[in-house]
Amino acid sequence: MARRSTGCIGIEFDASGIACAQAEFADGQWNARLDRYMQHPAASDASSESQPVTAAMLPVASTDLLMLTAGANTPSVKCVLPMELCDLRVMYLPEAPPEEMRLLVQRELESGGMRDPLFDFWTIPVEYSTHHNLVPVNAIIGNPYAIGQVVSLFGDGGFSLNAIDTIPTASARAVNIYREAKRRLDPPACHEDEYSLLNIVGTGSNSDAAAAIAVHAGWYGCTYTLVTHGIPMLARVPVRNGLRSLVQPLASLLGMPQSDVLRMMRGLSRNLPVRASDRLLRTLVESCRNWAVNIAEEILKTIAYSSRPGFRIVPSEIIVIGPGSIVPGIAEILELEVNIESFVWKICSSPDSAEGSSDINMVPMVWGESAVALALSASQEIQ
């Protein structure tokens, strides 16, 4: 009998919507068992003057989660919060074992005035440090109110919350998944521009060695993560250029709801039939190009940071994930502006993944909106 194991349910919260995915490991490979996305009409049509406050960032009820996760065969969940609800700190500390390092990070945060901080951290190899005999440490502090919201939300829905991850670390895992799938591409399995989701359990393959910049485009802002050897070496969170800065002016210009603009962009990016006049399409294409040029400028700034003494890392590709991955033509525009190969994250499962299976949830394609959610699901060890 074929051995099967499912990951937990992976969920990404963003002001524009919720991504939900579950990965299944069977016959030596992972496949997407579940993949759903729920757009938040109330959030996406909010006033352009609205700010990323905690109460507005999670406009979701436990019943929404139950609908999204219908068909999942586990109540275990991992989730990630938008970076608007987190604070990223970079510090340099002496080398120490993980538990001791956690105490050092906590003391450093508390010395800066934080009381009982809720945080996670990861270390960068000491050879990339610009400070002698000190380890670079990235710490992300979560908003306690938002974390309390999430815990209550999952508890009310009967879910078991295993972990709350961060965008940079989840983005690094999404890059690893994409690269492993690309490296093990079986030409007959997919169309030319699609990648098989095969054998992605490990994160230490040679495909992880080359550096990439993962551009996670959320509603309020973008997170730029430099990934190499499966590690988020550098993360930047500029205070502008989220998907909102494209959609809201475009909706006003076209005289249509923001939710309709999002649906239209999603359809165009996935080569679905979209009814639109030539004038409307020209306006949309020009707006998308201008927005993507701003993203390219931030990528160039990230490259300037990554190539400085100490790091000296130059990325070989750019991978766009998250809600903003639906922007039509974004990869082509970034590649033209930055002169680095650019891709929108998308993966197709093995065509044999559901053969002989009674699982009606098995999905053939996972898009960039669900990259982080799938990464969360596939990140746990196989038991």
Cβ-based neighbours of 181, under 8 Å, separated by 6 or more: 195, 196, 197, 198, 200, 347
Residue 257 has pLDDT above 60, yes or no: yes
pLDDT at 214: 98
**Average pLDDT over all residues of the chain:** 83
- Kindly report the pTM of this predicted structure: 0.87
pLDDT at 14: 92
Higher pLDDT pick, 299 / 360: 299
Express each pLDDT in 181-195 by its tens digit.
777 665 444 444 443
pLDDT at 162: 93
Backbone angles phi, psi at 245, to 5 degrees: -70, -15
Burial class for 309, CB neighbours closer than 10 Å (0-12, 13-18, 19+): exposed
**Mean pLDDT on 139-166:** 91
CB atoms within 10 A of CB 24: 24
Q: Strands (DSSP E) along the chain, which ranges? A: 4-14, 17-26, 29-39, 76-80, 86-93, 119-123, 135-142, 160-165, 212-217, 222-228, 231-236, 317-321, 341-344, 346-348, 365-367
Percent of the chain beyond pLDDT 70? 81
Express each pLDDT in 26-46 by its tens digit.
665 667 889 999 987 655 555
Residue 207 has pLDDT above 70, yes or no: no
CA dist 324 and 210 (Å) reads 24
**Mean pLDDT on 324-347:** 96
Q: Name the residue with tokens 């016959």.
A: 27
**Mean pLDDT on 323-334:** 96
pLDDT at 355: 44
Q: How confident is the model at residue 277 (pLDDT cuts 50, 70, 90)?
A: confident
Higher pLDDT pick, 32 / 102: 102
pLDDT at 367: 93
Nearest Cα to Cα of residue 166 among 319, 375, 343: 375
Q: How confident is the model at residue 320 (pLDDT cuts 50, 70, 90)?
A: very high
Q: Name the residue with tokens 């009998």.
A: 1
CA dist 201 and 153 (Å) reads 30
pLDDT at 1: 43
Residue 349 has pLDDT above 80, yes or no: no
**Mean pLDDT on 285-313:** 92
Percent of the chain beyond pLDDT 90? 55
Residue 124 has pLDDT above 60, yes or no: yes
pLDDT at 307: 87
**Mean pLDDT on 41-68:** 61
**Mean pLDDT on 220-237:** 93
